[in-house]
Amino acid sequence: MEIRKRKKTYEIDMCDGPLLGKIVVFYFPLMLSGVLQLLFNAADVIVVGQFAGDEALAAVGSNSPLINLMVNVFIGLSVGTNVLVSRYYGAGQKKELEEMVHTSVLTAAYSGIFLIFVGFFIAKPALHLMGVPEDVIGLSILYVRIYFAGMPVMMAYNFGSAVLRAVGDTKRPLYYLLIAGVVNVILNLIFVIAFHMSVAGVALATVISQALSAYLVIRCLIKTKSDYQLNLHKLRIHKDKLLKMIRIGLPAGVQGALFSLSNVLIQSSVNSFGKIAMAGNTAASNIEGFVYTSMNALHQTSVSFTGQNYGAKKFDRIKRTLIYCISLVIGVGLLLGNGAYVFGGTLLKLYTSNPEAIKYGVLRLSVICTTYCLCGMMDVIVGSIRGMGYGVLPMLVSLTGACLFRVVWILTIFQKVRTLECLYYSYPISWALTFSVHMICFIFLFRKEKKQLETYVRL
């Protein structure tokens, strides 16, 4: 095993020293980075809601489940990058780390190019299938096609930042997103208010700002003197690394895509209540997204800390990482989720002035945000399982406990009680069920891995 070169300026040593403080230091910039990414979309929604009307607001919001469905498989591969870079870095395996970085960046480029064509050709039939109203669908198609034109830079940012997270650097991605976020807001205002470009303007602003953040991340990887340095002349797909990345990341991507499929079904059910309900649901979903992102950063924290300590074979720190992350995510979920509901009426006015749309939005917040800590708990324990290198098992559990359950709920319970409140209750019930099964799986796998290590040491 090669000797690991520790702690450059931005990296965090996850394998030694006090754990809780390092988790918090890692988590906070990561959480802020996620919030800034959401501000890209929130800026889109606020600007079109205030300056382009309810049709434009509904068009932008109705796209989110479809966009997530089409890109989550590839974003999931970046989870494989995170896990493997963490493991190689934790184990001090320089050659494997270098090959993993170059494989990941080239995979990001190919994935982004492929998604351009997927978005262009799939947008229209998929949005028709979702039941998007005729007075909204033209704008929705335009938004999706422009948004997907920026997929290569979006993939580059996601894979590049996954490398930085894996070695403990969550600060520089935050700085880059802060710069890009300011650019996004300025361009939104220019394109929509000055040039009257409506949804095309906000989509274009998002693509340009994502291109800036991607450039900064890739430049960072090229300029670094650390073992994870990117050399463009060394870009190639290392087959063994790609297969490992697929084995860990593809199940995460498939899970994300099928989660999005269940959300597409839910969005389709919301669409049946009309464009005002769609607008309220869109606005509430954006507020809710800030809570989710704040919790999901602890999922990513769990992946990185578990991955590095798994590589270093420090199982006690893996267990303590899970305990700390679950405790933190409960606190974050309860505080921010209930805060979003309490101040929901005021927050929703940032998105729309329509009192009926605000009423629909508050209804969604009252069910989902008040119970959101359950989702965070589920995600954190999935992060720990993936950090140990297991991809298929958490995917199967999540698909059964969450996705399949929601589909069954829509086809049975919702058909008898056709209200938005009934539709939204499928979320917290599925989170609680899935978390319980994941906890049993983690205990089994943790004991299995620890026993194998102890057997190896004795031999």
Average pLDDT over residues 156-176: 92
Q: Is the dihedral of CA 171, 176, 155, 289 positive or negative?
A: positive
Per-residue pLDDT band at 456 (split at 50, 70, 90) = low
Say if 12 falls within a structural domain: no
pTM flag (> 0.85): no
pLDDT at 70: 74
- For 164, the token pair is 């930085």
Contacts of 1 (CB under 8 A, 6+ apart): 91, 92, 93
Say if 355 falls within a structural domain: yes
Q: Rounded to 10 degrees, what is the CA torsion of 324, 330, 331, 334? A: 170
Q: From residue 283, give the alpha-carbon distance in Å to each of 47, 58, 371.
A: 12, 9, 18
Q: Could you give the angle at which helices 151-166 and 275-311 cross, rounded to 10 degrees?
A: 40
**Alpha-carbon span 261 to 406, nearest angstrom:** 10
pLDDT at 108 over 60: yes
Say if 7 falls within a structural domain: no
**Under 8 Å between Cβ of 59 and 337:** no
**Alpha-carbon span 175 to 33, nearest angstrom:** 8
Say if 280 falls within a structural domain: yes
Domain count, the chain: 1
Say if 15 falls within a structural domain: no
Average pLDDT over residues 20-49: 82
**Alpha-carbon span 191 to 193, nearest angstrom:** 6
Say if 100 falls within a structural domain: yes
Contacts of 313 (CB under 8 A, 6+ apart): 453
Q: How many CB atoms lie within 10 A of CB 442?
A: 21
pLDDT at 2: 42
Q: Rounded to 10 degrees, what is the CA torsion of 243, 299, 401, 81? A: -10
For 179, the domain range is 20-458
**Alpha-carbon span 102 to 237, nearest angstrom:** 7
With 0-12 CB in 10 A as exposed, 13-18 as middle and 19+ as buried, what is 14? buried
pLDDT at 29 over 70: yes
Q: Is the dihedral of CA 213, 218, 224, 229 positive or negative?
A: positive
Per-residue pLDDT band at 7 (split at 50, 70, 90) = very low
Q: What is the pLDDT of residues 291-330, one digit of tens each?
A: 999 999 999 999 999 999 998 899 999 999 999 999 999 9
Say if 405 falls within a structural domain: yes
pLDDT at 445: 93
Q: What is the pLDDT of residues 207-249, one digit of tens each?
A: 999 999 999 999 999 999 889 999 999 999 999 999 999 998 8
pLDDT at 107: 95
pLDDT at 418: 87
Q: CA nearest 59: which of 146, 137, 131? A: 137
Lowest mean pLDDT among 5-14, 130-139, 203-212: 5-14
Say if 1 falls within a structural domain: no
